[in-house]
Amino acid sequence: MILIPLEQWNGANSFIFYGKNSEIATNRLDEQELSVLCLHLLQMCLVYINTLMIQKILAEPTWMKRMTKEDFRGLTPLFWSHVNPYGTFRLDMNERLELDAVS
């Protein structure tokens, strides 16, 4: 089970939902619900992909040996420094992410 500090969760929400000062800009409940559900879906996808990348890196003995107790305690899959939220996406449907298949 992965525990993510609430401050980090809120920071990711602000990062992903950056328009309108990270506020939901409607009073309609159905639009608010849809916005929040989409936000959570994007955040869970980010955590999933980051978890796969962390697992791939830590599967290498060199990196695993470098990890200390403090490193493991501070390790979280909720980071976004590698993501561009401003609408520029390089998409190549002939190229796959270099992640091992999950069985």
Mean pLDDT, 10 residues at a time, the chain of 103 residues: 59 66 76 84 86 90 93 86 73 77 53
Spatial separation of the C-alpha atoms in residues 87 and 85, rounded to whole Å: 6
What are the extents of the domains in the chain? Answer: 6-74
CB–CB of 29/20 below 8 Å? no
**pLDDT for position 17:** 66
CB–CB of 86/17 below 8 Å? no
**pLDDT for position 103:** 47
**pLDDT for position 18:** 60
pTM (predicted TM-score):
0.67
